């Protein structure tokens, strides 16, 4: 029988950032639950899918040392949508 640590290791991507996400509720058209950043061991709750994405983005930025904000489109961009 496999231990919990062995089970977690099976799903890790070498050189990547790995998360364990537990969806506890599906209310108000979004998810609520807990996310664990496996490399750091940190765990926190999220109140929406958007908050979950931001937590993952923040962890990836910390892990890689890259600032992603420069790669994405911002409201300040002057580009007009046709």
What is the pTM (predicted TM-score) of this model?
Answer: 0.65
Is residue 20 in a domain? yes
User: How large is the average pLDDT for residues 30-58?
Assistant: 92
- Distance of alpha carbon 19 from alpha carbon 53, whole angstroms: 11
- Distance of alpha carbon 82 from alpha carbon 80, whole angstroms: 6
- Distance of alpha carbon 52 from alpha carbon 44, whole angstroms: 10
- What is the number of domains present in the chain? 1
User: How large is the average pLDDT for residues 47-75?
Assistant: 76
- Distance of alpha carbon 4 from alpha carbon 2, whole angstroms: 7
Nearest to 36 by CA among 51, 50, 56, 6: 56
Task: Give the per-residue pLDDT at 17.
Answer: 85
Residue 47's domain comprises 15-65
Q: pLDDT digits over 6-31, tens only? A: 555 666 666 678 999 999 999 889 99
Distance of CA 79 to the CA centre of its chain: 29
Structure tokens at 5: 């640590």
């Amino acid at each position: 029988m496999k231990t919990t640590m062995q089970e977690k290791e099976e799903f890790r991507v070498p050189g990547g950032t790995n998360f364990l996400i537990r969806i506890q509720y599906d209310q108000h058209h979004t998810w609520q639950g807990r996310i664990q950043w496996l490399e750091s061991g940190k765990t926190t709750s999220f109140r929406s899918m958007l908050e979950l994405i931001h937590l993952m983005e923040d962890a990836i930025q910390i892990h890689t040392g890259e600032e992603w904000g420069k790669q994405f489109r911002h409201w300040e961009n002057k580009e007009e949508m046709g």
